[in-house]
Amino acid sequence: MGFAVLHIEKGTAGKAGGLGNHIDRKIKVPNADPTLMDWNHTLVQDGNVMKWKNIKEIDKGSLQKRINARIEQGYKGKRAIRKDAVTHLNIILTGSHEEMKTISSNKDFSEWLKDNYHFVCKQYGKENIVDFTLHMDERTPHLHCVVVPLTSDGRLSAKEVMGNRDKMTQLQDDYGNAMQKFNLQRGIKGSKATHDSIKEFYGRLNNALGVDKVQYKNIASEVDYVGITETPPLIGREKWVETQNKAISDTFSKNIGKIKQEATEHIEAYKNDHAKAIMTTYELRQKNKELQQIIKAQDKKLNPEKYTNTEKQTTGKSKGLGY
């Protein structure tokens, strides 16, 4: 059984344009396969029903305008909305790669899509959902759901809509329960893991730092010593799952710690190289000034008349000014 993934990112007005362009594929997405873009669909209102439309065949208008329209329609607060206020939540809905590939290739896929839509409608209100789009052109099929965080009494409050840590934990519990029939279970409680693999994380790290290669280890090769068998036991399955989850979580945390350490070392090395470059530039400028002075002194010896005339003119100007 794989894991159900629900990830939320808060966004302000300044971030909506880029997010909308990404969702609607108005910009080039490096990790997307352009030959699969025809499989990307978005859910739109068509009369009294919701229908899936190919994102290439429909113009939804800018995401920012849709967010603004919903706020104008539903906001009942008395205060003006701050410029840095959170205006939308980008919710990514997916699951473990292998399970999602299986789900998306059989008859359960339409039901998975429908259940996800019903889940977010129940959580945030259908009227607050301004975008619900399926991406099939990236590595793992996933949904983008953009929600305007309006409260039931019309206030714009991402803090209240998302809730505290307990409410977020309950949200993950509820989503895991809703996805169980698709062979997806709730992720590890307290884990900071994302749906990216360790190898993909290293790839992003390498690109960001401009390094050729950073060594990584396969997590699967490191959990064997914990005493976990590959096949679940017939008796004590729940205990087996708990032990396995803890082992994966511990190993993942250990690997992330090593990744952060390596990233810090690379960043520090870059800073040191940058500082050295600044010092070298300063030293070269000083040497340049010294060379200019030497050249001038040599020229003065070779062409004294040029400097004598200049000095007389300067002296005359100084006397005329009364110095």
Instruction: Please give the full DSSP string across 127-151, using - where no structure is assigned.
Output: GGEEEEEEE-SSSS-EEEEEE--B-
Apex CA 48: angle with CA 47 and CA 49, to 5°? 95
Apex CA 268: angle with CA 264 and CA 271, to 5°? 140
Residue 292's H or E segment, with its range, is helix 237-302
State mean pLDDT over 15-32: 86
> What architecture does CATH give domain 1-187?
2-Layer Sandwich (3.30)
130, pLDDT greater than 90? yes
Between 94 and 261, where is the model more confident? Answer: 94
Find where tokens 């960001």 sit.
Answer: 208
Q: How confident is the model at residue 186 (pLDDT cuts 50, 70, 90)?
A: confident
Instruction: Share the mean pLDDT of the chain.
Output: 77
Q: What is the rounded CA–CA span in Å between residue 55 and residue 26? A: 10
Q: How confident is the model at residue 80 (pLDDT cuts 50, 70, 90)?
A: confident
Between 14 and 211, where is the model more confident? Answer: 14
Q: How confident is the model at residue 282 (pLDDT cuts 50, 70, 90)?
A: low
pLDDT in the model for residue 88: 94
Angle at which helix 165-179 crosses helix 108-124, to 10 degrees, equals 150
218, pLDDT greater than 50? no
pLDDT in the model for residue 317: 46
pLDDT in the model for residue 83: 85
Q: Give the full edge-to-edge strand order of the sheet including 41-46.
A: 49-54, 41-46, 129-135, 142-147, 86-95, 2-12, 184-185
Q: How confident is the model at residue 276 (pLDDT cuts 50, 70, 90)?
A: low
Domain with CATH 3.30.930.30 in the chain: 1-187
The residue type at 156: L
Contact criterion met (CB below 8 Å) for 236 and 244 = no
Count the neighbouring beta carbons within 10 Å of the beta carbon of residue 19: 19
Q: What is the rounded CA–CA span in Å between residue 12 and residue 35? A: 32
pLDDT in the model for residue 238: 65
Between 2 and 277, where is the model more confident? Answer: 2
Best-predicted range by mean pLDDT (51-60, 135-144, 191-200): 135-144
212, pLDDT greater than 60? no
Name the percent of the chain lying above pLDDT 70: 72
* Closest by Cα among 63, 53, 43, 58 to 133: 43
In three-state secondary structure terms, 163 is: coil
pLDDT in the model for residue 278: 67
pTM over 0.95: no
Between 214 and 297, where is the model more confident? Answer: 297
294, pLDDT greater than 70? yes
State mean pLDDT over 93-122: 91
pLDDT in the model for residue 229: 46
Q: How confident is the model at residue 227 (pLDDT cuts 50, 70, 90)?
A: very low
Q: Which residues contact 58 (CB under 8 A, 6 or more apart)?
A: 42, 44
DSSP 96: -
pLDDT in the model for residue 143: 94
Find where tokens 């893991």 sit.
Answer: 193
pLDDT in the model for residue 224: 39
Contact criterion met (CB below 8 Å) for 146 and 90 = yes
Q: How confident is the model at residue 56 (pLDDT cuts 50, 70, 90)?
A: confident
Q: How confident is the model at residue 159 (pLDDT cuts 50, 70, 90)?
A: very high
* Closest by Cα among 293, 281, 300, 244 to 3: 244
